[in-house]
């Protein structure tokens, strides 16, 4: 059983936050998202995604900041025990930490912030415009047959935004995985 002193040590929180980020990203990207897409009618799936994504990307924007503040730094073993050097957010600015830790953490933060503030709202806006266009056209955006030029434009815009958002999420996931190897060396 860990001692009570570990409650004030940032290292366990760092590990828990990293695990939360990795697990939630992998599950949402490769588990829940695809399963919901297959199991739900398209309108229900869209409603679900619109409800989940703002929270998901908020979570994935804030938690990299927690990683930065709880960065474990370098472990130094001396006669007096184990001490940490260059830990915390300022330790990320030291030497090679800029590239092996700060860059991946910054990439995680930036890709999620991009999805939260720019791509997510833009995609939702196009989805709402597409819903209005369905009413004007008298058919759903995914119905077979020719589509109006307006619907074609909206579908194209949605696919572009969705693709960039997915790519951004995958870049963030890649940074998260790269950072995992750095973290493994530090603990």
- Residue 148 makes CB contacts below 8 A (sequence gap 6+) with 133, 136, 137
**Cα 54–Cα 19–Cα 28 angle in degrees, nearest 5:** 40
Token pair, residue 86, equals 């260059």
Token pair, residue 102, equals 């700060």
Domain spans of the chain, in order of start = 4-186
CA–CA separation, 76 vs 53, rounded Å?
A: 41
Local confidence pLDDT in tens for the 187 residues of the chain: 566 666 777 888 999 999 999 999 999 999 999 999 999 998 899 999 999 999 999 999 999 999 999 988 777 777 777 677 777 888 889 888 899 999 999 999 999 999 999 999 999 999 999 999 989 999 999 888 899 999 999 999 999 999 999 999 999 999 999 999 998 987 7
Place of tokens 């020719």: 146
Q: What is the DSSP letter of 111?
A: H
């Amino acid at each position: 059983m860990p001692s009570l002193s570990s409650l004030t040590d940032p290292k366990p929180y760092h590990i828990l936050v990293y695990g939360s980020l990795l697990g939630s990203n992998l599950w949402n990207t490769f588990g829940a998202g695809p399963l919901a897409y297959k199991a739900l009618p398209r309108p229900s799936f869209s409603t679900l995604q619109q409800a989940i994504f703002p929270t998901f990307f908020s979570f994935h924007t804030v938690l990299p900041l927690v990683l930065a503040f709880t960065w474990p730094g370098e472990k130094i073993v001396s006669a007096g025990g184990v001490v940490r050097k260059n830990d915390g957010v300022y330790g990320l600015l030291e030497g090679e930490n800029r590239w092996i830790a700060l860059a991946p953490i910054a990439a995680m933060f930036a890709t999620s912030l991009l999805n939260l503030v720019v791509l997510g709202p833009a995609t939702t806006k196009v989805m709402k415009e597409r819903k209005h266009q369905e009413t004007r056209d008298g058919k759903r955006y995914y119905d077979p047959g020719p589509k109006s030029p307006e619907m074609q434009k909206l579908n194209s815009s949605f696919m572009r935004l969705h693709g960039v958002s997915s790519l951004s999420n995958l870049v963030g996931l890649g940074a998260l995985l790269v950072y995992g190897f750095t973290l493994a060396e530090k603990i």
